[in-house]
Structure 1
Amino acid sequence: MSYEFWIGARYAGLARSRRKGGGGDRFVSFIAASSMVGIALGVAALIVVLSVMNGFQKEVRDRMLSVLPHIELYAPRMAPDEVLSQWKNIARMAEENPEVKGAAPFVAGQGMIVRGETLSGVQIRGIDPKLDAAVSDVAEQMVSGELTSLVPGSFSIVLGNYLAHTLGVGMGDTVLVLAPQGSISPAGFTPRMRQFTVTGLFSSGYYEFDASMAFINYEDAAKVFRDSGQTGVRLRIADMQKAPLVASELRAALPPYVQAQDWTQNNRTWFAAVQTEKRMMFLILALIVAVAAFNLLSSLVMAVKDKRSDIAILRTLGATPREVARIFLVQGSLIGVVGTLLGVGFGMLVAFNIGVIVPFIERMLGVQFLPQQVYFISELPSDPQMTDILIIAITSLVLSLLATLYPSWRASSLQPAEVLRHD
């Protein structure tokens, strides 16, 4: 071990001094330890926050796509009845793509559900209950009744559990569904309406869907919405991340009157907002690491000032300015490396166990950090990604190394004669 490394490690508090007393060494080691802790806390905070944001995005995405299709095919220039009569041909052409694993028809529209004096706006999805399991997980999310109860002509409806609670309805109750289109008569505008019987309740775990979505048979939906609803084919693919690529391939393979839209387009605003928020959180929390690096710079400057006599003695013994600079480069680098490793270890420990830590804190304090009505999910998810962890670690190391440059140059530029004359 070179003497520069040994001295730098001793100043960083990572090597033991044989000298008795050592008050100056203890002071330098203390400020080095405080810088190390600052870097570790900054790195850990970055890892935990970005892991939670990744987990939040993944959890919400998965819950959304348990109800929504990966890709939707529709023909806006064709009448809904014509699309429904040809949906099997469109599905067969789409299933020639090896990524497509399931297809089912749909009729989508927005309307109002009325129960007594309570009225609520809803997204209504007309589906084929026998084929829907191939494109969504709604059948597995039923908390009451069965999705197969949506028999054509029965005008049955399956509601989200929060929507049913808002309307005050349960199994077997009737609700009135109003379509936004209607007929104009001498008496005025009359909205199109139909009475439905509640035959099931579902819970996707995604509050927005559970509070504003209902399913009916696609043939019944075609009668209610007629020309106003969007009609087409829902697809599920093997890898949801390839949805944009598969949608592009389908546009090229299907007839020109058929359009394909994937889930990233349908929810573009939400996912773009999450990505922007993640970038901003990284920049904001990276300032914590930057402050810790500035603290490291300050501690090294203090160490240089405290060790002026030692530096002068080393120079008189033949140490070159480069060797003196390497001592403080080693000190700062070791503080940065050890602080970064401690931060990565602590951050990953918290990130991988946040599902246990947060509920424990909630029980201790008697609070709920994530009300489902506000944040869509009730549990704090975490998804640590190695790419983020590597970027955070590299950023911390680079800032730490940059913080050592000025103090090292300052130490190497000290003149032994001037220092010893004043001391």
Structure 2
Amino acid sequence: MFRPFSLYVGLRYTGAKRSNHFISFISLVSMLGLMLGVAALILVLSVMNGFDRELKQRILGMVPHATIAGYGESLQSWRKVADDIARQPGVLGTAPYIQAQGMLTQGGSVHGVQVTGIDPVRENQVSIIGDHMREGSLAALGNQRFGIVLGAILARSLGVGSGDKVTLVLPEASVSVAGVVPRMKRFTVVGVFEVGAELDANLAYISLEDAAVITRQGDGVDGIRLRFDDLFDAPTAVRQIASGLNGPYLVSDWTRSHGNLFQAIQMEKRMIGLLLFLIVFVAAFNIVSTLVMVVTDKKADIAILRTLGATSGRIMRIFMVQGCLIGTIGTLLGTGLGVLLALTVTDLVAWLERALGIQFLSADVYFISYLPSQLQWDDVTLICSAALTIGFLATLYPAWRASRTEPAEALRYE
């Protein structure tokens, strides 16, 4: 049976028992180091992808992909504008809004809040708030006059729940017989939502009609919120849509309000990936040291093979086979371990939290209370390719040193 000479001898050298157990130990350390480096890279990048996914689904699920507002005044004919926008390609939904800044008070507690007037029916087209209601529903805003929906942290800070009363104080003054007093309105809590720490602490929703009353806008709205099928097309698409409408409009998109979050997490992903690649490089250096010691240990064998007619290229390929085998096994084991951990890390962390009685991610601090993970096979392919390439490059110098062995010099003291 035909057997390639270099491959056959390289595999025999790898599987043979060595008299020098230290070399075998270094080979095992090299393989384990490469395995741990690859597994750590896959796991950490999967967790970073998980955070990126949660940001897109939760934060941008609440924040509009883009907005079109009136230029210096409210939109009076917003229904026609919204219908024109909804017919544009790539637009999944539109919804009007009225925004106001104020303070909510209850029982001596005062908290700043951004109040948004919405159409409960249209809002589901541009926001995920309806899917994250902990108490009540958005539809209750249309049934309850002067009803309000609060974020979970805001409701907890005020100590209120569904059915309780809160007072909204607007930063505007009204003149009455008692003098100049701030504008205030009593609202009934009809729902509580829970999406993320930042949003749950400072957002509140009321009906569009109630918002028009307290802001004295009549039939007008501040603007229209848009949702696109591809959020990354939003910055360009919203400007194209606004340019095709009749009249001057102000446009904005998510990259202006929350783009820094995604830029930060992408930068962290790159930097952490680069740092963890150092583990793979350390394992590659171990492969170099392993092969150098093997070459020193096998000088007599190399000399005999050279005297039997083995060329320098064949000798070089023998030790390249040995090094590549160590790199391949370590990479494959690391890939399997990394994929397994990436798919189960959420459940493992949840189990640890229950077992130890602690919470690693608090919902009061972070926008999620669990460790997310999203395995992307493009990352796995890139990591495996890089690890195999580094492992291959690590074999070149020791294999070249082996090919330069002179038979007479090596056998002089044998």
Q: Same fold (TM over 0.5)?
A: yes
* Map of 1:213 onto structure 2: 203
Counterparts in 2 of 1:189 and 1:42: CA distance versus 1, 3 Å? farther
Counterparts in 2 of 1:153 and 1:169: CA distance versus 1, 3 Å? closer
> 19, 33, 37: which one pairs with 1:42?
37
After the TM superposition, which residues 227-266 of structure 1 pair with which residues of structure 2 at under 5 Å, given as runs? Answer: 231-255=222-246, 257-266=248-257
Counterparts in 2 of 1:188 and 1:391: CA distance versus 1, 3 Å? farther
User: Which moved further from structure 2: 375-384 or 29-38?
Assistant: 29-38
* Map of 1:155 onto structure 2: 146
Deviations 1:17-61 (A, max 9, x none): 4xxxx4337654443232111111101100000001101110122
Deviation at 1:261, TM superposition (A): 2.6
Report the 3-state secondary structure (helix = DSSP H, G, I; strand = E; otherwise coil) of the residue aligned with 2:371: coil
* Map of 1:389 onto structure 2: 380
> 252, 277, 299: which one pairs with 1:308?
299
Distance in 1, Cα, partners of 2:189 & 2:363? 24
User: Which moved further from structure 2: 368-377 or 254-263?
Assistant: 254-263
Contact 1:11 1:32 (8 Å CA) reproduced: no
Contact 2:96 2:221 (8 Å CA) reproduced: no
After the TM superposition, which residues 409-420 of structure 1 pair with which residues of structure 2 at under 5 Å, given as runs? Answer: 409-420=400-411
Q: Which runs of 4+ in 1 moved over 6 A?
A: none
Contact 1:176 1:194 (8 Å CA) reproduced: yes
| TM value normalised by structure 1 | 0.89
Deviation at 1:407, TM superposition (A): 0.7
User: Which moved further from structure 2: 359-368 or 343-352?
Assistant: 359-368
Counterparts in 2 of 1:25 and 1:76: CA distance versus 1, 3 Å? farther
Deviation at 1:280, TM superposition (A): 0.7
Report the 3-state secondary structure (helix = DSSP H, G, I; strand = E; otherwise coil) of the residue aligned with 1:150: helix
Counterpart of 1:371, as a letter, is S
Counterpart of 1:216, as a letter, is I
* Map of 1:323 onto structure 2: 314
Distance in 2, Cα, partners of 1:153 & 1:30? 74
Contact 2:78 2:221 (8 Å CA) reproduced: no
Contact 1:12 1:33 (8 Å CA) reproduced: no
Report the 3-state secondary structure (helix = DSSP H, G, I; strand = E; otherwise coil) of the residue aligned with 1:97: coil
User: Which moved further from structure 2: 46-55 or 151-160?
Assistant: 151-160
Contact 2:153 2:364 (8 Å CA) reproduced: no
Deviation at 1:171, TM superposition (A): 2.1
Contact 1:75 1:257 (8 Å CA) reproduced: yes
Contact 1:351 1:382 (8 Å CA) reproduced: yes
Contact 2:115 2:204 (8 Å CA) reproduced: yes
* Map of 1:3 onto structure 2: 5
Distance in 1, Cα, partners of 2:359 & 2:65? 32
- Is 1:195 matched with 2:165? no
* Map of 2:92 onto structure 1: 101
Report the 3-state secondary structure (helix = DSSP H, G, I; strand = E; otherwise coil) of the residue aligned with 1:216: strand
Report the 3-state secondary structure (helix = DSSP H, G, I; strand = E; otherwise coil) of the residue aligned with 2:135: strand
Distance in 1, Cα, partners of 2:280 & 2:168? 56
Deviations 1:129-166 (A, max 9, x none): 13222222323322222322324993221111221111
Distance in 2, Cα, partners of 1:230 & 1:340? 58
Contact 2:27 2:286 (8 Å CA) reproduced: no
Deviation at 1:387, TM superposition (A): 1.6
RMSD: 2.5
Name stretches of at least 5 consecutive residues in structure 1 with no aligned partner.
none
> 55, 61, 71: which one pairs with 2:56?
61
Distance in 2, Cα, partners of 1:257 & 1:415? 83
Report the 3-state secondary structure (helix = DSSP H, G, I; strand = E; otherwise coil) of the residue aligned with 1:12: helix
Counterparts in 2 of 1:207 and 1:302: CA distance versus 1, 3 Å? same
Counterpart of 1:357, as a letter, is L
Distance in 2, Cα, partners of 1:275 & 1:189? 51
Contact 1:176 1:195 (8 Å CA) reproduced: yes
Counterpart of 1:9, as a letter, is L
* Map of 2:115 onto structure 1: 124
* Map of 2:328 onto structure 1: 337
Counterparts in 2 of 1:33 and 1:188: CA distance versus 1, 3 Å? farther
* Map of 1:421 onto structure 2: 412
Distance in 2, Cα, partners of 1:169 & 1:305? 77
Report the 3-state secondary structure (helix = DSSP H, G, I; strand = E; otherwise coil) of the residue aligned with 1:130: helix
Deviation at 1:382, TM superposition (A): 0.9
Distance in 1, Cα, partners of 2:179 & 2:270? 53
User: Which moved further from structure 2: 380-389 or 246-255?
Assistant: 246-255
> 271, 279, 282: which one pairs with 2:270?
279
- Is 1:137 matched with 2:139? no
Counterpart of 1:316, as a letter, is T
Contact 1:109 1:230 (8 Å CA) reproduced: no
Deviation at 1:416, TM superposition (A): 1.8
Distance in 1, Cα, partners of 2:19 & 2:179? 92
* Map of 1:359 onto structure 2: 350
Deviations 1:294-353 (A, max 9, x none): 111111111112212221221222212211111111111121122112111111111112
Deviations 1:208-239 (A, max 9, x none): 21222110122322343458x98101122334
Counterparts in 2 of 1:44 and 1:230: CA distance versus 1, 3 Å? farther
Deviation at 1:244, TM superposition (A): 3.4
Deviation at 1:252, TM superposition (A): 3.3
Distance in 1, Cα, partners of 2:291 & 2:407? 19
- Is 1:23 matched with 2:18? yes
Deviation at 1:267, TM superposition (A): 0.9
Contact 2:212 2:221 (8 Å CA) reproduced: no
